[in-house]
Amino acid sequence: MSPEVELVGAFTNEESLLGCVERLRQARARFRVYSPIPMPHVNAAIYQRPSFVRWWVLLGGITGAVSAFVLTIGTSLEWNLVAGGKPIASLPPYIIIAFEMMVLFGGISAVLGWILLSNLPTFEPLSGYRSRFTADEFGVVVRCAEDETPRLESMLREAGAQDISREAA
């Protein structure tokens, strides 16, 4: 198997970048996009599945709600406080605490899930990054085997890449 290389192409406008992304996706290439601005169109073209973070949020929310009921019912049964003749473990007020803990745990889980699934923290720049990709240009980094390089290089050029460089993967 031939060694892998990375092709780095720079684009100056969103339309050509989007066209390139579509071609690379159809060619099932492995690539990464750098952009100085948020681009929902490109994001939608790259990611075909919803993020897995939402399952972290669901799990965190359920954990929070269940924990809240355990906390409130458990403490009420342990230290009985009769108020107004109501049951020792009265659910209506515990719903408020369960809701708050559901939101809290869900939010924390969202942040944790996002950090972990994004492989953060990252102390070294990802390969192919150029400082101009956070200034005024878009970047596409395609990872491929060396013998695929001519095909993908011409694909980048046809898509409108301004300059294409090659790096070791």
Q: What does the binding site for other proteins look like in residue numbers (CB under 8 A)?
A: 18, 38, 40-41, 43-45, 47-51, 84-86, 92-93, 95-96
Nearer to other proteins, 71 or 95 (CB): 95
Nearer to other proteins, 3 or 40 (CB): 40
Nearer to other proteins, 8 or 20 (CB): 20
Could you tell me which residues come within 8 angstroms of residue 105 by beta carbon, excluding any fewer than 6 positions away?
60, 61, 63, 64, 67
* CA 164 – CA 9 distance, rounded (Å): 4
Minimum gap (Å) between residue 100 Cβ and other proteins: 13
* C-alpha dihedral (133, 137, 142, 147), degrees to nearest 10: -120
Tokens of residue 110, six digits: 């969202």
Minimum gap (Å) between residue 42 Cβ and other proteins: 8
